[in-house]
Structure 1
Amino acid sequence: MRARNVIDMHMVNRMQAFGWPLLAVTFALAIILAIGAIVGSQGSIARAELHEGLRWNGAIFALLGPLIGYGFTSMGQYFPLALGLGLTRREFAAGLSAVFLGNAVIYSVLITIGKAIERATDGFGVSIRFFDVFYTSTGALWQTLVQTFLLILAVLFLGAAITAAFLRFGQAFLWISGAALALIGLGILSGVLLLDGFGRGLLDVLTMGWGPWMAVIAVIGALSAGIWLVLVRRTQVG
């Protein structure tokens, strides 16, 4: 198996592999720290309100943007290159799966360590929340580790699956998927506005427990990985 060649291929551009995600997170953290310093100067009440309000801030998603882009690049650039160098589709799939798993492990550990430091220092001394937020779990550290691992892995495979579908079906895939998402959004909006109890039921789903949400994320990741594995065997590249 030459899957190691696929891993090495992804490590050539260090900025793309590690630099941009870490820069994005650092920049987002700097902004939140600046906000914390400004609001903290207004007194203890303002700091307490900031700490609670930042529970829902999505600055940590600065990491997911570069990572889903990494999933796009893996299929859009490295897949054709790997085939051109004589690697088989199975070898590419094995190597890329290892790359994605490695990224999910590394970044989930970094986020968990960041959360531990953030809690120990009372929000880095300015009562902020950056790592200890709803999207990475405000529960125990092990929950953050599990949640971020599943979320990052799902995002990476989703990016790869979207690009594989585009390579396989072309522009038609974008139009059909865009129309399907628009119809789903319209259906949800219509249900909230026109059906009694629909909005309450939707809220119940969105506020379900940690375990069910982890199952949802795991299913999305598994479906994305499965679709990608099917398409990578059938996708033709120019």
Structure 2
Amino acid sequence: MNRILAVTRLHTVVWWNQFIWPWAIMAISLLVNILIFASIDEAAPGKTSTGGLSSLYVVSAIAAAVSISQIFPFALGMGVTRRTFYVATVLVNVAQAILYGVLLYILNLIEGGTNGFGIGLHFFRVPYIDVSNGLLQIAVYAAPLLFLNFVTMFVAIWFVRFGTNGLFATGAAAILVFGLLGALITWQGWWGDIWHWLSTQHQISLLVGWPALVAVVAALGGMAAMRKKMAPGMA
């Protein structure tokens, strides 16, 4: 366990990518949204919800994928096993998601206490993802981050293992499978049933449960792929 905790410190090598840039870009997005909505508030009262918060998730997911290509070769050069590196990386991402969830919840409270930064802006308190329970709100912020990070990490590991051709071939196969599945659903007229099933799902199931489940599957898939022989230069 001490070895794993020691390896987590390797992520400080790319701490700007993983911990600074996501918040910096989100802060810029928040500032831009405040300026835009402050200027149109009188013309469009009440229409102050924005998806700018997604910038944090997108940048974090990209940074998670980049960390595989930047830190993994360095870790191997220091004699770190694939399993140790991956478990340490998972721990870093879980801790990151919890920390981000807490910080976003604090910003949620600030936004609520200032009436949306004085202009009724819904940046952190976006309708539907805003819940009344504090712990659940933290989970609502954290689960999608884990989902995106582990999925992009899995893609990065797949790329490192099989190269560009393998990644594109997998993407083409996925498009084919989902395309055929979509055609089957359309042919059978199942879209209405699927939509009904989704609409009857509990809010927390959609925001926390399902993203967390996919995150676990992606994390296990990444572990399986990581433990196999990697591409030349990454073994």
Shorter-chain TM-score bucket reads 0.7 to 0.9
- RMSD (CA atoms): 2.3
**Shift, 1:39, TM fit:** 1.8
Aligned to 1:216: 210
Q: Distance in 2 between matches of 1:172 and 1:129?
A: 43
**Shift, 1:161, TM fit:** 1.0
Distance 1:199 1:31, change over 3 A: farther
Deviations 1:15-36 (A, max 9, x none): 2132110111101111211122
Aligned to 1:227: 221
**Shift, 1:189, TM fit:** 5.9
Point out where structure 1 has 5 or more consecutive residues left out of the alignment.
none
Aligned to 1:83: 76
State the SS of the aligned residue for 2:131: coil
Contact persistence 1:191–1:199 (CA under 8 A): no
Deviations 1:42-97 (A, max 9, x none): 3xxx322x14xx2xx32111011221112212211211110011112232123212
Is structure 2 residue 201 aligned with structure 1 residue 200?
A: no
Aligned to 1:138: 130
Q: Distance in 2 between matches of 1:100 and 1:11?
A: 13
State the SS of the aligned residue for 1:148: helix
Pick the aligned partner of 2:96 from 80, 94, 103.
Answer: 103
Letter in 1 for 2:126: V
Percent identity, aligned pairs only, is: 25
State the SS of the aligned residue for 2:228: coil
Aligned to 1:4: 5
TM-score between both structures, scaled by the size of structure 1: 0.85
**Shift, 1:7, TM fit:** 2.0
Aligned residue pairs total 228
Letter in 1 for 2:39: I
Distance 1:133 1:191, change over 3 A: farther
Runs of 4 or more off by more than 4 Å in structure 1?
Answer: 187-192, 194-197
Q: Distance in 1 between matches of 2:69 and 2:54?
A: 23
Letter in 2 for 1:73: V
Aligned to 1:47: 45
Deviations 1:97-138 (A, max 9, x none): 221112101111111111111112211110111111257x12
Point out where structure 2 has 5 or more consecutive residues left out of the alignment.
none
Contact persistence 1:36–1:128 (CA under 8 A): yes
TM-score between both structures, scaled by the size of structure 2: 0.86
